[in-house]
């Protein structure tokens, strides 16, 4: 191996002469009458090379060495030889013209150490900033996360210490990592790798769930959560995300609500609770989260944040929407009774959302007016923080859901119209629904800022879905709303989040 000598002056190195390294001037420079520049050398520190990249570099070098055989191959098979020669020449030219791109391109993250992959996942998903490689988050901090689904990712380092994590959790973490790297048009990993790692993760989970889960339910729940998020980035089917959510729901119920009041269990519950609720809302199914024990026990130590209080306020919404779906199959007399019950529950949820908004206004009036009263109606909304943005966009989304279904009930059941008072009529008016939808769309640019990583985009799932429904049903003729949605659609495609936004039919 050739080693670069540090006792060679710059002139001798440039002239390719032997330098004796004397001070203050070498013999070569002294005899030739030149001024010896000395032996100061700038040190260049190169980043460490990952194992997967070494294999890639070796493949490029191997292709270059094998290029000497192309002439003999061309003589035996002229057509095939010319094709292979052109192909290999193009590969060699690309490797020589873009060496930096070859070095930073990631091809095989599954070969990395597990903690390195966890670090990659957290730094690409969580908006909190730069984390240390070990001990990224304290599991005993007792602080409840105020984000939609970020806390469970920060629990991965602690969960990975379990002896079963390497076999059942590691493949799912790797799946999420490769899905993140394959996102967008300039993804650094092939989509085929993401699908291959996902198949391996599903296979390992299927095998693990056949045995006794017991105290390892948190490991399996985190593993399924990784697959759920990878489906948001790179969906394989429309039902996959729902199936993963059902699996998480079943795994959480293997333990009592009290077991999620502190530590890693609390971090995991705080993270997956909104995801489970949103999936129940979209599927119109009742959720165990509405039970009193699951409402109180997990927050008995650290307390619930405003964002968690918001989900508690509307926790009966999925079952109410499911009740409305069943009205079509019922006799008229029974349907009238249940329709009135659904109306009362929706009105109660809507009034709770209004009270929450008013409490925020009373607590910080400047913040409230800053958000709800922007200077221009078509400008993007910027929030003081990501937490505030998540809170308000979901308040607006739940308001729209309640208002639209109350309107639907009054249309199909005229007897309910007598229950409407002027205040409620204003809250469910089409103008309010379209206005709140425009506020949601104008908030998407802030939530998808680069500093908020993948979490910011993932937290827009429900608000963006609700705004899309309003556009399709009530706002198709509204040029402002259509223009806002098309702008969001283009922005998501450019950022690589095209699978998270629905096309307008």
What is the residue range of 23's domain? 1-45
Residues 79 and 154 occupy one common structural domain: no
User: Which single residue is written with the structure tokens 């993963």?
Assistant: 244
Angle CA(257)–CA(250)–CA(303) in degrees, nearest 5?
25
Residues 402 and 273 occupy one common structural domain: no
- What is the rounded CA–CA span in Å between residue 435 and residue 421? 21
- What is the rounded CA–CA span in Å between residue 131 and residue 153? 12
User: Which single residue is written with the structure tokens 């609700």?
Assistant: 466
Does residue 347 have a pLDDT over 90?
yes
| pLDDT computed for residue 401 by the predictor | 97
Does residue 308 sit within a domain? no
Does residue 328 sit within a domain? yes
Residues 33 and 79 occupy one common structural domain: no
Q: What is the largest CA-CA distance in the chain?
A: 113
Residues 163 and 285 occupy one common structural domain: yes
Residues 429 and 350 occupy one common structural domain: yes
Residues 408 and 475 occupy one common structural domain: yes
Residues 354 and 470 occupy one common structural domain: yes
Does residue 103 have a pLDDT over 60?
no
Does residue 41 sit within a domain? yes
Q: Please give the average per-residue pLDDT across 469-488, as a whole number.
A: 89
Residues 95 and 119 occupy one common structural domain: no
Average of per-residue pLDDT values in the chain: 78
Q: Please give the average per-residue pLDDT across 123-130, as a whole number.
A: 70
Does residue 77 have a pLDDT over 60?
no
Residues 98 and 125 occupy one common structural domain: no
Does residue 355 sit within a domain? yes
Over the stretch 363-375, which tens digit does the pLDDT of each residue have?
Answer: 665 555 555 555 5
Provide the percentage of residues in the chain whose pLDDT is more than 90: 37
Local structure of 148: helix, strand or coil: coil
Question: Residue 459: pLDDT band by 50, 70, 90 thresholds?
Answer: very high
Q: Which of 95-109, 215-229, 296-310 has the lowest mean pLDDT?
A: 95-109
Does residue 57 sit within a domain? no
Residues 199 and 91 occupy one common structural domain: no
User: Which single residue is written with the structure tokens 């659904």?
Assistant: 342
Helix (H) or strand (E) holding 103: helix 99-104
Kindly tell me the sign of the dihedral angle through the C-alpha atoms of 300, 305, 306, 310: negative
CA distances to 151, 280, 318 from 287, in Å: 21, 6, 7
| pLDDT computed for residue 40 by the predictor | 62
- What is the rounded CA–CA span in Å between residue 53 and residue 44? 20
Q: What is the DSSP-derived secondary structure letter of residue 405?
A: H
| pLDDT computed for residue 89 by the predictor | 37
| pLDDT computed for residue 44 by the predictor | 39
Confidence (pTM): 0.74
Does residue 322 sit within a domain? yes
Does residue 432 have a pLDDT over 60?
yes
Residues 422 and 282 occupy one common structural domain: no
b/e map 397-423, b = 16+ CB within 10 Å: bbbbbbbbbbbbbbeebeebeeebeee
User: Which single residue is written with the structure tokens 């990224």?
Assistant: 136
Does residue 58 sit within a domain? no
Six-digit token string for 201: 């993760």
Q: Please give the average per-residue pLDDT across 146-166, as a whole number.
A: 76
Residues 211 and 354 occupy one common structural domain: no
Instruction: Give the count of domains, the chain.
Output: 4
């Amino acid at each position: 191996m050739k080693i670069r000598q540090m006792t060679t002056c710059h002139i001798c190195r440039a002239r390719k002469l032997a330098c004796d390294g004397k001070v203050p001037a070498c013999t070569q420079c002294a005899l030739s009458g030149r001024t010896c520049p000395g032996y100061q050398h700038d040190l260049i520190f190169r980043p460490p090379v990952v194992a997967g990249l070494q294999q890639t570099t070796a493949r490029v070098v191997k292709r270059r060495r094998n290029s000497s055989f192309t002439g003999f191959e061309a003589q035996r098979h002229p057509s095939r030889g010319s094709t292979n020669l052109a192909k290999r020449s193009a590969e060699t030219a690309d490797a020589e013209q873009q060496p930096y791109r070859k070095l930073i391109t990631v091809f095989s993250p599954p070969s990395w150490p597990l903690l390195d992959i966890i670090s990659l996942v957290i730094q690409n998903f969580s908006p909190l900033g730069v984390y240390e490689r070990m001990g990224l988050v304290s599991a005993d901090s007792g602080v409840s996360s105020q984000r939609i689904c970020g806390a469970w990712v920060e629990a991965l380092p602690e969960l990975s210490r379990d002896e079963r994590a390497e076999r059942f959790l590691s493949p799912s973490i790797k799946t999420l990592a490769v899905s993140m790297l394959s996102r967008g048009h300039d993804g650094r990993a092939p989509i085929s790798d993401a699908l291959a790692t996902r198949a391996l993760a599903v296979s390992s989970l299927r095998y693990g769930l056949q045995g006794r889960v017991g105290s390892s339910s948190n490991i399996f729940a985190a593993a399924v959560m990784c697959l759920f998020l990878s489906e948001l980035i790179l969906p394989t089917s429309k039902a996959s995300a729902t199936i993963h959510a059902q699996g998480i729901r079943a795994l959480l119920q293997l333990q009592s609500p009290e077991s999620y009041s502190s530590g890693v269990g609390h971090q995991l519950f705080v993270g997956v609770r909104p995801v489970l609720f949103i999936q129940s809302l979209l599927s119109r199914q009742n959720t165990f989260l509405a039970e009193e024990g699951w409402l109180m026990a997990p927050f008995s130590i650290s307390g619930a944040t405003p964002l968690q209080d918001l989900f508690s306020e509307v926790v009966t919404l999925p079952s109410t929407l499911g009740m409305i779906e069943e009205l079509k199959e019922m006799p008229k007399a029974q349907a009238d009774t249940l329709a009135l019950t659904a109306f009362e529950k929706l009105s109660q949820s809507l009034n709770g959302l209004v009270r929450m908004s008013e409490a925020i206004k009373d607590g910080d009036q400047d913040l409230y007016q800053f958000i709800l009263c922007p200077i221009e109606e078509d400008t993007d909304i910027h929030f003081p923080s990501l937490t505030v943005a998540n809170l308000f966009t979901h308040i607006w989304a739940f308001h729209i859901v309640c208002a639209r279904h109350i309107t639907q009930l009054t249309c199909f059941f005229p007897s309910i119209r007598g229950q409407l008072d002027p205040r409620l009529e204003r809250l469910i008016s089409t103008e309010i629904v379209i206005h709140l939808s425009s506020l949601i769309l104008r908030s998407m640019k802030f939530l998808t800022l680069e500093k908020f990583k993948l979490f910011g985009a993932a937290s827009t799932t429900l608000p963006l879905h609700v705004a899309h429904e309003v556009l399709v049903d009530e706002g198709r003729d509204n040029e402002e709303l259509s223009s806002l949605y098309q702008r969001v659609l283009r922005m998501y495609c450019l950022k690589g989040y095209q699978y998270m936004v629905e096309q307008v039919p």
